[in-house]
């Protein structure tokens, strides 16, 4: 009799342990939701309609099938909340996903219907984001955390000092979610550039106005020293911003150059010529590169002292740099784009340059984004091109009716663009099949 009681007690303990190992306790299973999986660049976005008091577990692995509780799945994620982004995936590899639900810490029931998706590079397929009514032309877009926030936020800026925000949880669930206007009646000058750096959102624009904010709601004018010595007369428009993580550089008309190490106070630097400067970037090679009118290219190693390396020709409107591995070789690619389909490429940080046509000579490219795996250029007449090697460029298609796009940013493996009125917002999460 005692042995029988011991066996029963042991069986109960073992059953409890097994239930605990499966993630359960005293609760029960809940019905599995229907999940939607949207592939992106090295990630997928999973959405579903949650039920109150239900905890959801996600299971996934490479291939075409997976089951809830699959011990061969390389990842199971507990307590997920819709929408949920799975990152760190391998592009061009198929993954299978399922989800089950549980209540009260229970074991969980069978998984949902399996959904497969294959991540791939962004820049190939584009869709409309929200059209921002009354926004006018949007000239730039930044991405970063507002003070006290647990998520990142897009900030778009443009003519008349207008500013808009799109919080990451909103676009993650629905890329066409509405942007929200940021109230800033004090600063109404056109804004040409926006950036998040050194714990601040920073903007630059007409009349040399430089603003900064930590909460996106309150904007304060920065201060500039040495401006008169380097830019006699009235302050000129500033057109672009870039950072290397510890310094921010702003450039503008008449060869205007300013730099800051805190995003609030700025020092003007002398330019080797007085050409209008439209774009600026920083290369991991340790070089700042600014581009502008009539093929102007100037470079600096410290943001203060600049030298002229102009190539002449059509205006260059934007420039971007990235460290990339091509066929096993590390390259410091710099790509500048501009008027008349103009493109200037360097594979070693701009010591050597190749000037090539990009697309239709009638196109003007206003923005370019370079990163480790792909370079994307976007501009007028719905023009968008991508390249993975800077040699072969592929023309992509924007949604019908897309007007000129002025700015492009890659954040969280997604490309977002803003532009002219009537076509304010676009996004690209992955390439065409």
Prediction pTM value: 0.83
Q: How far is CA 366 from the centre of its chain?
A: 17
Regarding whether 382 and 300 lie in a shared domain, the answer is yes
Regarding whether 58 and 137 lie in a shared domain, the answer is no
Regarding whether 211 and 234 lie in a shared domain, the answer is yes
Which pLDDT score is estimated for 8? 33
Domain that residue 34 falls in:
26-117
Of 134, 129, 98, nearest in space to 115 by CA: 98
Which pLDDT score is estimated for 211? 96
Which pLDDT score is estimated for 235? 73
Regarding whether 280 and 384 lie in a shared domain, the answer is yes
* Regions in the chain scoring below 50 on pLDDT: 1-26, 232, 433
| DSSP state, residue 112 | P
The 10s digit of each residue's pLDDT in 366-420 is 999 998 889 999 999 888 999 888 888 889 988 887 889 999 999 888 899 999 9
Classify residue 2: in a domain, yes or no: no
Q: Total domain count for the chain?
A: 2
Q: Which residues contact 175 (CB under 8 A, 6 or more apart)?
A: 127, 129, 427, 429
Which pLDDT score is estimated for 365? 94
Classify residue 112: in a domain, yes or no: yes
C-alpha–C-alpha distance, residues 351 and 310, integer Å: 12
Classify residue 11: in a domain, yes or no: no
Which pLDDT score is estimated for 363? 87
**Domain boundary, last residue among 61, 82, 117:** 117
Q: For residue 87, what is the domain's CATH number?
A: 2.60.40.10
For residue 50, count CB atoms less than 10 angstroms from its CB and return exposed for 0-12, middle for 13-18, buried for 19 or more.
middle
Classify residue 335: in a domain, yes or no: yes
Regarding whether 138 and 106 lie in a shared domain, the answer is no
Regarding whether 182 and 90 lie in a shared domain, the answer is no
| DSSP state, residue 159 | G
Regarding whether 402 and 255 lie in a shared domain, the answer is yes
Regarding whether 157 and 30 lie in a shared domain, the answer is no
Classify residue 374: in a domain, yes or no: yes
Regarding whether 409 and 325 lie in a shared domain, the answer is yes
The residues facing 288 across adjacent strands are 282, 300
Which pLDDT score is estimated for 423? 61
The residues facing 158 across adjacent strands are 138
Which pLDDT score is estimated for 356? 65
What size, in residues, is the chain? 433
| Structural tokens at position 261 | 């190490």
Which pLDDT score is estimated for 13? 34
Classify residue 314: in a domain, yes or no: yes
Classify residue 358: in a domain, yes or no: yes
Classify residue 407: in a domain, yes or no: yes
Which pLDDT score is estimated for 23? 38
């Amino acid at each position: 009799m005692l042995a029988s009681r011991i066996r029963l007690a042991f069986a109960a303990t073992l059953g409890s342990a097994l239930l605990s190992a499966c993630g359960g306790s005293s609760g029960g299973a809940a019905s599995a939701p229907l999940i939607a999986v949207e592939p992106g660049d090295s990630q997928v976005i999973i959405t579903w309609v949650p039920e109150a008091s239900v905890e959801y577990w996600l299971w996934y692995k490479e291939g075409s099938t997976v089951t809830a509780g699959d011990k061969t799945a390389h990842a199971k994620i507990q307590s997920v909340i819709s929408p949920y982004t799975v990152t760190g995936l391998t592009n061009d590899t198929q993954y299978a996903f399922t989800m089950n639900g549980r209540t009260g810490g229970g074991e969980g029931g069978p998984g949902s219907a399996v959904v497969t998706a294959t991540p791939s590079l962004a820049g190939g397929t584009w869709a409309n984001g929200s059209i921002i009514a009354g926004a006018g032309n949007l000239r730039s877009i930044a991405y970063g955390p507002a003070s006290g926030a647990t998520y990142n936020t897009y900030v778009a800026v443009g003519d008349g000092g207008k500013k808009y925000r799109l919080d990451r949880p909103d676009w993650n669930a629905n890329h066409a979610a509405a942007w929200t206007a940021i109230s800033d009646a004090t600063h109404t000058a056109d804004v040409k550039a926006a950036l998040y750096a050194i714990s601040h959102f920073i903007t630059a624009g007409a009349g040399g106005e430089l603003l900064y904010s930590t909460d996106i709601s309150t904007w304060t004018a920065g201060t500039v020293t040495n401006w008169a010595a380097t830019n006699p007369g009235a302050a000129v428009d500033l057109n672009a911003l870039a950072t290397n993580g510890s310094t921010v550089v702003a450039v503008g008309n008449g060869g205007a150059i300013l730099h800051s190490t805190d995003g609030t106070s700025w020092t003007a630097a002398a330019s080797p010529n007085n050409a209008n400067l439209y774009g600026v970037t920083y290369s991991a090679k340790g070089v700042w590169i600014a581009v502008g009118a009539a093929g102007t290219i100037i470079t600096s190693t410290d943001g203060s002292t600049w030298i002229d390396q102009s190539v002449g020709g059509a205006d260059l409107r934007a420039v971007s740099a990235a460290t990339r591995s091509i066929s096993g070789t590390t390259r410091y690619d710099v790509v500048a784009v501009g008027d008349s389909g103009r493109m200037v490429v360097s594979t070693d940080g701009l010591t050597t340059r190749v000037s090539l046509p990009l697309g239709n000579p009638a196109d003007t490219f206003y923005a370019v984004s370079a990163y480790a795996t792909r370079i994307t250029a976007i501009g007028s007449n719905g023009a968008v091109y991508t390249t993975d090697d800077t040699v072969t460029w592929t023309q992509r298609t924007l949604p019908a009716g897309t007007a000129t796009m002025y700015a492009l940013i890659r954040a969280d493996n997604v490309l977002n663009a803003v532009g002219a009125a009537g076509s304010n917002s676009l996004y690209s999460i992955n390439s065409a099949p």
